[in-house]
Amino acid sequence: MHAAGTKGAVFLDRDGTIIHDVGYLGDAAGIRLYPDAVGALRTLQREYALFVVSNQSGIAKGHITREQVDEVNRRLGELLAEHDVRIVAWYVCPHCREDACDCMKPAARFLREAADEYGLDLSRSFVIGDHPHDPATGDAVGAFGLYLLTGHGPQHIDSLPDDRLVFHSLRDAADWIMAHPEPRYGLGREIDFAAETIKSGGLAAFPTETVYGLGANALDPAAVARIFEVKERPLDDPLIVHVAQQSQLAGLVAGIPGKAARLVEALWPGPLTLVLPKLPVVPDIVTAGHPTVAVRMPSNAVARRLIAAAGVPVAAPSANRFGRTSPTTAAHVIGQLGFGWGVIVDGGACRVGVESTVLSLVEDRPVLLRPGGAPLEEIERLIGRVELPGGADAAKPMSPGMLQRHYAPSTPLRIVPSLEPWLERADVGILAFSPLAGRPAGPVETLTQGGDLTEAAVNLYAAMRRLDGRGLALIVAQEVPNHGLGRAVNDRLRKASNPLSEAMPQGV
């Protein structure tokens, strides 16, 4: 055993992390770097030695040879070297899971070998990848694991522990690492500082699994008033109160009907908000004068630690200016709100990507006030029929979130029946559900590679935001299949396609 080194390293998965995962890549001609990978690696190597650790089970399965894999790695190494990126060593596990080898992630054999050979301090190192096993490899040696929503990331997210930080891209992960050289301590300090700020009447932005929230002590009307001020949100739009434990619900609502208890039991923590008659302890400013309150318990571990540390329920809308696209990273929050209003906890990206489902249980018959991260199908399986907006009472919005405005980029967005007619316009951005056959003249954002609605939701706001930054005349989008999270995606697309000015109800 060698003495531990002093240098930190970053261990990177290859497929789905640095290059597109095309499955059993045996030919260097098939290498497709992610556009921001080189920049991210250049940033990281200012402080860290870079290693690639990749599992190539195609070798054991006979789809590709070890020589082919080595050739792809050699060529990728050359490509990166042309941009001054140096990978110190490449590790390849050629086995499949049934082989029960000791080199496949999350086994840490390669990390230990690298530490011995290159004098690394694994406790100051990071592991990044798009499969739950990648960051888990870090845990085994006291390194810090980060999960990417590129590659297969969105597909495996259900098996990812709640406390794992996720990122939209390698670029975002690199920026987070550079800002958090001592990740556990650094994040812990941000959470404690935010909790103190909320306790003393200030505002803190924090990640949830849906979008970033702008939080204040829900029981302090003056603190809550600041949220409306900073967001420029009209006072008639009530806020969601966030709790860290199921038991806190009873302290906020007048009673918990059986259907609510069943939903809480099955879906909390998670992206489901319940609207119930409120207790007097909840200030009127939180509920916009309504006798009801919306409550949710987020599953994001940073959010729950923060709310628990603050010791009070936390009122939080999405941390964007009123009517604008919701933030799914800390950088988005700063882009929208700037600085000077309070503190922010940077806990990476939001893994669901669209806001929570809002369900009213005020009447016996449950009503869907806003489709969101908890699929309607799952709710109906637990409590039976749910009334949809657009039903008998459609003329009278029961929730301001149902109004046809909200979530909009500043570039006009239009929903079109077919993207075809727009492909030749260089000044039109395309927000496509799945990969396009042709090659459009303008910029394209593809919500999912394989038709996965959960992946589409994760990418929606970040994709809208990127197109919004391109100075286009118009963004065109197509509706996605209307089930599961697709219902929430379509809802947000429709609302984004209605500019605030046109859709604001008169006299508000």
Instruction: List interacting residues with Mg ion (CB under 5 A).
Output: 13, 15-16, 130, 151
Partner interacting with residue 130 (select from ligand TXA, Mg ion, none; CB below 5-8 Å by kind): Mg ion
275 binds ligand TXA (CB under 6 A): yes
Measured CA to CA, the distance from residue 69 to residue 92 in angstroms comes to 8
Binders in 352-371 for ligand TXA, by CB under 6 A? 355-356, 358, 369-370
- Assign 164 to helix, strand or coil: coil
In the bound complex, what is the minimum distance in angstroms from residue 192's beta carbon to ligand TXA? 20
For residue 6, count CB atoms less than 10 angstroms from its CB and return exposed for 0-12, middle for 13-18, buried for 19 or more: exposed
Binding mask 195-234 for ligand TXA (x = CB under 6 A): -------------x-xx-x---------------------
Q: Which is nearer to ligand TXA, 71 or 162 (CB)?
A: 162
In the bound complex, what is the minimum distance in angstroms from residue 285's beta carbon to ligand TXA? 12
- Assign 257 to helix, strand or coil: coil
Measured CA to CA, the distance from residue 117 to residue 114 in angstroms comes to 5
401 binds ligand TXA (CB under 6 A): yes
Binders in 292-351 for ligand TXA, by CB under 6 A? 292-294, 316-318
Q: Which residue has the tokens 């009334």?
A: 387
Pairing of strands 9-12, 49-55: parallel
Partner interacting with residue 15 (select from Mg ion, ligand TXA, none; CB below 5-8 Å by kind): Mg ion
Measured CA to CA, the distance from residue 499 to residue 502 in angstroms comes to 6
Contact pick of 240, 413, 462, 485 for ligand TXA (by CB under 6 A): 240
Partner interacting with residue 472 (select from Mg ion, ligand TXA, none; CB below 5-8 Å by kind): none
Closest alpha carbon to 357 in 406, 408, 303, 401: 401
Measured CA to CA, the distance from residue 88 to residue 71 in angstroms comes to 16
> Considering CB under 6 A, how many residues would be counted as binding ligand TXA?
28
239 binds ligand TXA (CB under 6 A): yes
- Assign 465 to helix, strand or coil: helix
In the bound complex, what is the minimum distance in angstroms from residue 16's beta carbon to Mg ion? 3
Q: Which is nearer to ligand TXA, 369 or 431 (CB)?
A: 369
Both tokens of 66, joined, read 């070890």
Cβ atoms 207, 347 nearer than 8 A: yes
Measured CA to CA, the distance from residue 362 to residue 69 in angstroms comes to 60
Phi/psi of residue 15, nearest 5 degrees:
-75, 130
Which stretches of the chain bind ligand TXA, using CB under 6 A? Answer: 208, 210-211, 213, 237-240, 271, 273, 275, 287, 290, 292-294, 316-318, 355-356, 358, 369-370, 398-401
